[in-house]
Structure 1
Amino acid sequence: MVGRGGRAVRAVNINPKGFSRDQLKIYAYIVPLCLFMLLPILYIFTSAFKPISELFAFPPRFLVANPTLDNFSRLSQTTQQSTVSLGRYVFNSALVTLAVVLLSIIISSMAGYAFSKLRFRGSGLLFEINTIALMFVPVAVMIPRYLVIDRLGIINSYLAHILPLLSMPVGLFLLKQFIDQVPDELMEAAKVDGAGPLRVYWKVVLPLIRPAIATVAILAFQAVWGNTETSSMFTTKENMRTLSFFMSTLAAQNTGVAGQGVAAASMLIMFVPNILLFIILQSKVMNTMAYSGMK
């Protein structure tokens, strides 16, 4: 790449395979910041494996000296005392999470394709409304959501979990920005071959936006997996509630020093799937952040 004055400028690789000296300055800023942000996660991890003697230690210890699985054993004993089996909570969470992730990808990608490549009246206004929706936190629209769910008559059903979480303005925004980078020539070539809008979306657009789809999948998974609002607002039957609600209840019941280990164990169980999913799809996320900002 040639910069101003005819001098050569080295391109930045978003996801480099090796290490170079040019990265030292970046790592000098990023590594301390990452370590600082990891401290709460590390504290939860160490607390989950601390015996009661270390939980009561003064001054408190950040790291664990004698790791044990007693907190997880106590957590298992607590779940066995519940009127609903742990498997039921896991099934509810898995079903709701899978449904929301898949439907969010389908809806956001189709809407992003329409806003980006299909010209129709009012598209600009509708997309601006979606952008404005990014400013609203879920709590601000919880009462209208409850009124809608109640009038639809789907209280105490899986739809009460799924429908409120399908609204993902950030997913639509991200996919639309990514689809904007798909060359129109590719779509015109597909149309010349006789492909309609749906076939162009399926055969041309979707394969090219896989990194963005992976990012939306992570965002949707994180929003659903840790969600407790739908269980507390839209369900009254215990067998329709999710694992995150059950674990948050256990954490709230163990607020004392002796219960910190059990609370940390429950939070660690809920956190592990998020980090595993991100590790698997991290390269896709980096590519999305790079290409969605291209002009």
Structure 2
Amino acid sequence: MKTLKLNAGKRLNRSWGMDIVLFILIGGVASFMALPLVFTISNAFKPIDEIFQFPPKLLVRNPTFKNFTDLINIFSDSWVPFSRYVFNTFFITITGTVGHVILASAAAYPLAKIKFPGRNVLFSIVVLSLMFTSYVTQVPNYMTISWLGLINTHWAIILPAFGMTLGLYLMKQFMEQIPDALLEAAKIDGASEYRIFWQIIMPIVKPAWLTLIIFSLQNLWTSGSVKFIYSEQLKTVDYVFGQVGAGGLVRTGPMSAVALLMLTVPVTVFIVTQSNIIQTMSTSGLKE
């Protein structure tokens, strides 16, 4: 008994020395991973002589907004207003993200909680599709979009985004952790499948669909609209920003500003939802 009491009284956590070592190690790795982001932010405010300086300096010494003013001057000569490119980008990104989250969640619910013939086969196909990169499916996707008559429309990008299998896989794995007893209790109380899905399932899996929003937003924000859209009025911000770099080395400063602007939206959304993303990544592989 005395031995058990002594063991029970021992600290189960690590020593202070080990905590300090781990803190330094994690801090060093985090700092190394943050270098590209810091370098991008710093470059956006560097004058042209600092951008071409060798060896390059991580932090800006003489900050300036000239890169941004030059970028504004470049857009002022465009016959299509820059606001039109911004509207196209946000329309594609928001519509594609919302549709993907709803469709992936609705498809994942029966795969996770309803037993029907062929369920495992369908999920195996979903998992198998994750092995193929977008480069492998470019030609079939283009042929499908062309057959549907969606070339040179925003739906040529939005519709394929609805069916991304990564979202279906993520939502299905997360929904499997919800106890079946909870759903059975709701059915006993008279709740329909539709009500169970929207009022029970979706609130519980909030971390998962917030993570899905990040993945979908990141994919659509730089969607590469030039592959399917040819009209200038329908193109997106990533296209017009890419044209800035076509001016060569003389536009290196504005391109540094472009790199920062393209990072702003994804990074902001990630910062707002990072706690839910971490929770999703830590629990997506667990089962009841």
Report if TM-score (shorter chain) is over 0.5.
Answer: yes
Counterpart among 274, 277, 281 of residue 282 in structure 1: 274
> Residue in 1 aligned with 2:252?
260
When residues 87 and 132 of structure 1 are mapped into structure 2, their CA distance, relative to the original with a 3 A threshold, is same
What SS does the corresponding residue of 2:37 show, helix, strand or coil? helix
Are residues 1:94 and 2:86 paired? no
When residues 128 and 21 of structure 1 are mapped into structure 2, their CA distance, relative to the original with a 3 A threshold, is farther
- The list of structure 1 runs, each at least 4 consecutive aligned residues, that deviate by more than 4 angstroms after superposition, is 6-12, 20-23
- 1:1-295 equivalences under 5 Å are 23-228=19-224, 231-251=225-245, 253-256=246-249, 258-295=250-287
> Residue in 2 aligned with 1:17?
none
**Structure 2: which amino acid aligns with 1:268?**
L
Unpaired stretches in structure 2, ≥5 consecutive residues: 1-6
CA deviation map 1:256-279 (0-9, x unaligned): 1x4222111011101011111011
Matches of 2:151 and 2:29, distance apart in 1:
44
Contact 2:93 2:217 in 1 (8 A): yes
Pick the structure with greater CA Rg.
2
Using the TM superposition, give the Cα deviation of residue 43 of structure 1 relative to its aligned residue in structure 2, in angstroms. 1.8
Contact 1:225 1:244 in 2 (8 A): yes
**Structure 2: which amino acid aligns with 1:275?**
V
Unpaired stretches in structure 1, ≥5 consecutive residues: 1-5, 13-19
**Structure 1: which amino acid aligns with 2:37?**
I
When residues 140 and 187 of structure 1 are mapped into structure 2, their CA distance, relative to the original with a 3 A threshold, is same
Using the TM superposition, give the Cα deviation of residue 25 of structure 1 relative to its aligned residue in structure 2, in angstroms. 4.2
When residues 116 and 245 of structure 1 are mapped into structure 2, their CA distance, relative to the original with a 3 A threshold, is same
* Residue range with higher mean Cα deviation, 258-267 or 177-186: 258-267
Matches of 1:120 and 1:51, distance apart in 2:
63
Give percent identity, aligned residues only: 35
When residues 123 and 39 of structure 1 are mapped into structure 2, their CA distance, relative to the original with a 3 A threshold, is same
What SS does the corresponding residue of 2:163 show, helix, strand or coil? coil
CA deviation map 1:224-280 (0-9, x unaligned): 11221xx111111011111112112213x1441x42221110111010111110110
**Structure 2: which amino acid aligns with 1:174?**
L
TM-score computed with the length of structure 1 as normaliser: 0.88
When residues 255 and 35 of structure 1 are mapped into structure 2, their CA distance, relative to the original with a 3 A threshold, is farther
Matches of 1:172 and 1:204, distance apart in 2:
18
When residues 126 and 10 of structure 1 are mapped into structure 2, their CA distance, relative to the original with a 3 A threshold, is farther
Matches of 1:216 and 1:25, distance apart in 2:
34
Matches of 2:242 and 2:26, distance apart in 1:
32
TM-score computed with the length of structure 2 as normaliser: 0.90
What SS does the corresponding residue of 1:138 show, helix, strand or coil? coil
Matches of 1:170 and 1:27, distance apart in 2:
33
What SS does the corresponding residue of 2:85 show, helix, strand or coil? helix
Contact 1:47 1:260 in 2 (8 A): no
